[in-house]
Amino acid sequence: MNTNFETIAFEKLGEIGILKVNREKKYNALNSQVLHELKDFLSSLSEGHELKGMIFTGAGDKAFIAGADIAEMSDMTVDEGHDFSTLGQDVTLLFESLNIPVIACVNGFALGGGCEMAMACDFIYATKTAVFGQPEVKLGLVPGFGGTQRLAKLIGRNRAKEIIYSGRNVDINEAKEIGLVVRSFDSQDEMISEAMKTLEAISKNSPNAVAISKQIMNEGNDLTNEQGLDIEAGHFGDIFSSYDMKEGTKAFVEKRKPEFKGE
């Protein structure tokens, strides 16, 4: 696992990892270097790791990620803009494809690319000072890291259109009301602590079953209900060949705690 980076930081606490965008003075804005380093790190995780879950957050208490780096974007050509969008989308897809749960812990601003990165995680925890939004239209831009697609799927197309077209900010109360945020907290420390507890609780379950559940839900996101159910049934049948399924059901019958291996 490569951890030699300049703009991101990674810390491993037991079986849980904390990945952080580390540009506090720039409100953790996403420039090409940050995106390349995130892509490199997440790609290295996909090759094998010992993590059971991960927290993704930003340095400091002002911003999770305030957005993409506008100064860098302002001079981009058409081709460079396309490549920048593709790079950001690659990072979001890597978050989604990880075989572990990832909680976005949002402190402060999560605008534009920041909101898009948070939405690529499995779910979002946030402090009560968190602010979300897709303000790209105010700069003559459109969301480029998946905002037009994921926001609509998370909160509904009409709500997403209103937020994207207006470019307005969404405070924590509205973010919870519309289902963008799962839980809110008074402080960043409390948020991280509760996210750790959530991931520790998840880690006691079968890693294999958790990973497959994530895969089924991601695969079914763009399908009809019938197609999604067919995928679910296929994976449900396949899992009967796994050690964890046999151990979990046997432990239940024997009234003991299962010892999962994630195989």
Q: State yes or no: is 226 an active-site residue.
A: no
Convert 112-135 to b/e letters by CB count within 10 Å (16 or more is b).
bbbbbbbbbbbbbbbbebbbbbbb
Catalytic one among 6, 15, 50, 136?
136
Choosing from 24, 80, 96, 116, the catalytic residue is 116
CA distances from 19 to 53, 87, 158, 260 (A): 11, 18, 33, 26
Burial 184-203 (b: 16+ CB within 10 A, else e): bbeebeebbeebbebbeebb
Instruction: Give the strands of the sheet with 16-21, arranged side by side.
Output: 8-13, 16-21, 53-58, 102-106, 123-127, 183-185
Tell me the two tokens of residue 92. Answer: 């979001």
The pair of three-digit structure tokens given for residue 250, joined into one six-digit string: 């046997």
Q: What is the Rg, in whole angstroms, of the alpha carbon atoms belonging to the chain?
A: 19
Hey, is 171 helix, strand or coil?
Answer: strand
Rounded CA-CA distance 251/253 in Å is 5
> Is 136 part of the annotated catalytic residue set?
yes
149 CB-near residues (< 8 Å, 6+ apart): none
Q: How far apart (Å, rounded) are the C-alpha atoms in residues 38 and 92? A: 10
Kindly list the catalytic residues. 116, 136
